[in-house]
Structure 1
Amino acid sequence: MRIGELSKSTGVDIETIRFYEKSGLLPPPARSENGYRDYAHPHLERLAFIRHCRALDMSLADVSLLLGSLESRDPEVLGRVDGLVASQLGKVRARLQSMRALEAQLVALQTRCDADHGAHACGILQELVSAAHGEACACHETPPGLRASLQD
């Protein structure tokens, strides 16, 4: 199959497929007589594997390690695979915690809006301006270093 067909079958952009080839994640395909790339079913499977790993937010280095581990039965290699997934899970959990904190900050900021925009100044904007001046706001305590540097 040609690169366009491979792209359509996997949902991976043509330029990304070429990048994966150049980086060694996807082996180079055979070439037809007219010079076009001729991808086979193993390319499709490997690209789907790469796409799935990327959907799990794994780095290209991690994907490469996983691809290199596919045929292994070595307990040490398989242990590295387990460690990689555990590490990725830790990163996701840390981001979730960060996102929950961000959500709480935005909720605190939103409480400053009384929705009567015709009668009052915008409480959200007032809070953001206060923070920019080094004052505490509804969503953050002001770091002491920021307060001092803004007063200089």
Structure 2
Amino acid sequence: MSAAPLTIGEASRRTGVSAKMIRWYEATGLLPPATRSEAGYRHYGEADLHTLRFIRRARDLGFSVGAIADLLALWRDRARPSAGVKAIAQDQIADLRRRIAEMEGMARTLEHLAEACCGDERPECPILDDLAAADHGPTRRRAIRPLPRRGR
């Protein structure tokens, strides 16, 4: 005996995926189109909830929609070799490490800019000067000189 179909609101509550995202996952093909009631309301079953939880967990781990589609296809293929799954996970690890390194670089730059700013009543600010500089690029480095401090 199968459970009664669930509305999108109930599916959202049970999976932690917003109704808006459920509709989007359907539109992108990550989630199969929901069955509809005579009035046109979406109805979801246990298999849909399981898929939504899978998608939510994959999103929590930072996988892209494309990678999630690949993972879902592998998950549904019971005869799959696990090597494909591992390769996708390893690609995600490399991407996360690259993004972490970029964020650490941003934090170092902001720390340096904050240290160079006096944070007083004067309008001069190395932080704003740096943000306004037109020659920023991914490899551009610029020396940031602290402003002289007024007598304290």
TM above 0.5, one fold?
yes
2:33 and 2:9 mapped to 1: Cα distance? 15
Alpha-carbon deviation of 1:58? 0.9
AA partner of residue 89 (structure 2)? V
Task: Give per-residue Cα distances to partners, 1:98-137, cap 9 Å, x unaligned.
Answer: 111111111111111234x13x553425752894589943
Partner of 2:149: none
Alpha-carbon deviation of 1:27? 1.8
Task: Give per-residue Cα distances to partners, 1:46-101, cap 9 Å, x unaligned.
Answer: 101101111212111111111111133332xx211111110010011011111111
Matched positions, count? 135
Partner of 2:150: none
2:144 alignment partner, one of 115, 138, 141 = 138
The answer (yes or no) to whether the contact 1:109–1:127 under 8 Å persists in 2 is no
Partner of 2:19: 14
Are 1:111 and 2:111 matched, yes or no?
Answer: no
Q: TM-score, normalised by structure 2?
A: 0.74
1:18 and 1:4 mapped to 2: Cα distance? 11
The answer (yes or no) to whether the contact 2:12–2:19 under 8 Å persists in 1 is yes
**More contact order relative to length (CA 8 Å, sep ≥ 6):** 2
AA partner of residue 72 (structure 1)? R
2:30 and 2:22 mapped to 1: Cα distance? 9
Normalized per residue, the structure richer in helix is 1
User: Any gaps of 5 or more consecutive residues in structure 1?
Assistant: 140-152
Partner of 2:33: 28
User: Any gaps of 5 or more consecutive residues in structure 2?
Assistant: 1-5, 146-152
Are 1:64 and 2:66 matched, yes or no?
Answer: no
The answer (yes or no) to whether the contact 2:34–2:43 under 8 Å persists in 1 is yes
Greater CA drift, 84-93 or 10-19: 10-19
1:89 and 1:20 mapped to 2: Cα distance? 24
The answer (yes or no) to whether the contact 1:3–1:39 under 8 Å persists in 2 is yes
- Give the direction of change, closer, same or farther, for the CA distance of 1:112–1:16 in structure 2 (3 Å limit): same
RMSD after superposition: 2.7
Within 5 A, what are the aligned runs for 1:86-97? 86-97=90-101
Alpha-carbon deviation of 1:29? 2.8
Q: TM-score, normalised by structure 1?
A: 0.74
2:89 and 2:135 mapped to 1: Cα distance? 43
The answer (yes or no) to whether the contact 1:2–1:37 under 8 Å persists in 2 is yes
Are 1:122 and 2:116 matched, yes or no?
Answer: no
